[in-house]
Amino acid sequence: MIIRKRGAAFLSLVCILAISCSKAPQRNPAQDRKDIQRVVGNSITWALDKNTETLFGAVAQDSTFFVFHPDSASTIVGFEAFKKMVNEVFMQDAFKATGSSIRDMRIDLSKSGDVAWYSAILDDFGEWDGKPYAWRNTRWTGVLERRDGKWVIVQMHFSFAK
């Protein structure tokens, strides 16, 4: 009986040590930065061909998703509100994206490797009812989270320098 208890205790100790000594998933920060840059870019370039699958795949599809636009009236809280805005504005025939440019992108990763934040300057061009519009030198920041092994944007903020 004592041997069984010691054996069980020893086995429990081995299991606890194995779990606590297991390595965290291997991270590749250089690859993460490339993936993040692609996801962030997709959140803008999707509009060229109105590929909502690309856009919606780049963002968190839950109530935590948040976007600050330059005007406070366009603040978006939650994926469903975002999806509604995309369908009511960007999917209209009146809207046509004509190009964009992202520069000065900086990407930082948390120590855990599951959260990242970025900043960049965005130039975004398009037309509404054939009339051109432009966001030039737009400051753009955001936060991404690795969910189920995939980077998604959970927060974005756009602003214009005065």
Surface-to-core class of residue 50, CB atoms within 10 Å of its CB (0-12 exposed, 13-18 middle, 19+ buried) = middle
Check whether 20 has a pLDDT greater than 50: no
Q: pLDDT for 49-92, tens place per residue?
A: 999 999 999 999 999 999 999 987 889 999 999 999 999 999 99
So what's the pLDDT on residue 161? 85
Domains of the chain: residue spans and CATH: 30-160 (3.10.450.50)
Check whether 93 has a pLDDT greater than 70: yes
d(C-alpha 79, C-alpha 59), whole Å: 8
Could you tell me which residues come within 8 angstroms of residue 30 by beta carbon, excluding any fewer than 6 positions away? none
Identify the H or E element spanning 85: helix 79-85
Q: pLDDT for 114-147, tens place per residue?
A: 999 999 999 999 999 999 999 999 999 999 999 9
Residue that wins the pLDDT comparison between 127 and 27: 127
Distances (CA, A) of 130 to 4, 80, 87: 82, 28, 19
Check whether 18 has a pLDDT greater than 80: no
So what's the pLDDT on residue 109? 98
How many percent of the chain have pLDDT more than 90? 80
So what's the pLDDT on residue 154? 98
**pLDDT, mean over the chain:** 89
d(C-alpha 81, C-alpha 23), whole Å: 39
d(C-alpha 161, C-alpha 70), whole Å: 10
Distances (CA, A) of 67 to 51, 103, 110, 122, 129: 19, 20, 21, 15, 25
